[in-house]
Chain A
């Protein structure tokens, strides 16, 4: 069996974002393996540990994204494929880049994050599934293999459902699927020697980003001292009523 986790490298949500020449500048940001993709890596590892076979991490992004692939290898993935591409690419373009490589591996299933922490896209899993001609289960919280099929639980807009899906299939992750492990020191050492196949990709994204701005609403920041809770609460309610006029 072969379990593939598709990953990307994104800025840590806690790190400050800067804008340079109308675009997000990540040169001083802390970059990490997308936490939603990390659930996919963890699930691939658990499936491999339970059913045997191989767990492969496939990454898309610039040279620096190799660090995120190494993180996945340090968690225990067996080998990596890195499709190297600078700059933005929409999910259709990313799927076009990855599908031929994934098809060649004939995986049992493919996992990727439910939403990307940089481009806020939820579509890579679905676009990839279309490219591979297989079903997609978005926002997955449980996967159980049953021979040629899998039983999976996934979130809808309201509520959730259990489905049976023909394999191979693409699953996108949701919180609750698992708790990702931390890379261990021996894991990190081993990861340095694991193979990462590099593939160049020059495709053109259909969607182009013209401008990025940080448009944070200026907040009033009127913070009251709550040592006297009754007085503070009354003052807050007065402000909400008279100043903000929201209650």
Chain B
């Protein structure tokens, strides 16, 4: 069996789940296995939608998410024996899949861009060294594999609803969730945006980000921030791009007053086009830029906004 974890937001499957499903089907075909899905939920779950994609769907309602409960749910679904467990990559999945991999003594293939099976083994391509190196790795089955977002075509439904099997997940109560701290969501989501406009310390103040927001809105994009900016309290942590923030891969990434530290590059160096504005011609960001302007962001940014407006008219 190839087991795929179908992640969702309570009402519908996340896009990443359909990418994971495509990978699971590819592995199943190459290894001569069947695909089953597992749908774990805090409360509600898109049961009808999910059973449209798999012949067998294991389901369990587990209350507030913890890595322990999700690992227990996945392991319960995998009890019949698995060649691979595939999940969309996220902070959460990369934690519970670590537990699952250990429990099954499985090869853990994290955040993969591609995967395939050949000669009975599972191969994958992934990034390492803060996104600077591309690795080709392999493991004999079983494997626990997470799928990097936006790397894989979305799976199509099967056309008929699969069988639903309720899981009896043994209770694990070692972590109690006390309080969720939600981030306010506005505009386009950073990780899904086609354009990201990031301000760095060079913006000089929280007020100056009004213009970053304006340019992002004009281009239909999202606002990003560097850690220096988040540490200064100018922008919320949810906007941070980099090693300890979010990884983005938009078509256009505009870095304003950003020096280009490796920890920042780790979150955006795979963007299709990178644009930098920095007053220091020696700033490392220029080495990673397709286009750039050496100049004062307080003069260049208003001019950029005007030039984009002119183009749109």
Contacts and interface: CB of A to CB of B under 8 A. Distances in A.
Interface of A: 11, 13-14, 17, 19, 24, 36, 90-92, 95-96, 114-115, 117-127, 129-131, 134-139, 151, 153, 155-166, 169, 172, 174-176, 206-217, 219-227, 229-230, 232-234, 236-237, 239-241, 244, 246-247
Given A162-B179, A223-B286, A122 B130 contact: no
Contacts of B274: 219
Given A123-B94, A126-B67, A244-B273, A161 B133 contact: no
B111 interface: yes
Contacts of B123: 210
Given A24-B133, A210-B137, 18 more contacts: A17-B129, A92-B102, A117-B129, A123-B98, A127-B98, A135-B67, A136-B67, A156-B180, A158-B183, A161-B177, A162-B177, A207-B108, A210-B136, A212-B135, A216-B132, A224-B292, A230-B306, A236-B291
A159 B310 CA distance: 37
Contacts of A236: 275, 291, 293, 304, 307
Nearest to A233: B303
A169 B174 contact: yes
B128 interface: yes
Interface string B49-79: 0000000000000000111100100000000
A137 B303 contact: no
Given A123-B94, A130-B98, A237-B311, A159 B140 contact: no
Interface in B101-125: 101-103, 105-111, 123
B119 to A, nearest CB: 13
Given A13-B263, A233-B303, A220 B133 contact: no
B298 to A, nearest CB: 9
Contact of A219 (B67, B95, B139, B290): B290
A236 B306 CA distance: 12
Contacts of B138: 207-208, 210
A225 B95 contact: no
A135 B106 contact: no
A160 B240 CA distance: 14
Contacts of A127: 98-99, 101-102, 108
A134 B306 CA distance: 57
Contacts of B95: 122-123, 125-126, 136, 138, 172
A122 B111 CA distance: 10
B166 interface: no
Interface string B292-313: 1111100110111011101100
Contacts of A234: 303, 307, 310
Nearest to A121: B110
Given A211-B136, A236-B293, A246-B252, A157 B90 contact: yes
Contacts of B291: 220, 222-224, 236, 239-240, 244
Contacts, number: 287
Given A131-B102, A219-B290, A222-B291, A158 B135 contact: no
The B interface is mostly helix, strand or loop, or mixed, namely mixed
Nearest to B246: A157
Given A127-B102, A160-B181, A224-B293, A17 B132 contact: yes
Nearest to B140: A206
Nearest to B178: A162
A159 B295 CA distance: 35
Contact of A247 (B67, B175, B179, B308): B308
B244 to A, nearest CB: 4
A201 B291 CA distance: 49
6 contacts: A129-B99, A130-B71, A161-B180, A206-B107, A222-B291, A237-B310
Among B99, B126, B252, B308, the most chain A Cβ lie within 10 Å of the Cβ of B99
A142 to B, nearest CB: 11
A30 B310 CA distance: 48
Closest 8 CB pairs of A and B: A226-B295, A126-B98, A123-B98, A13-B262, A233-B303, A130-B102, A135-B174, A229-B299
B277 A226 contact: yes
Given A120-B111, A127-B98, A240-B291, A232 B300 contact: yes
B96 interface: yes
A125 B98 contact: yes
A213 B181 contact: no
Nearest to B142: A206
B129 A215 contact: no
A123 B108 contact: yes
A174 B130 contact: no
A234 B90 CA distance: 39
Nearest to A158: B183
B131 interface: yes
B91 A219 contact: no
Contacts of A223: 276, 281, 286, 289, 291-294
A160 B100 CA distance: 23
A158 B186 CA distance: 13
A202 B62 CA distance: 39
B69 to A, nearest CB: 10
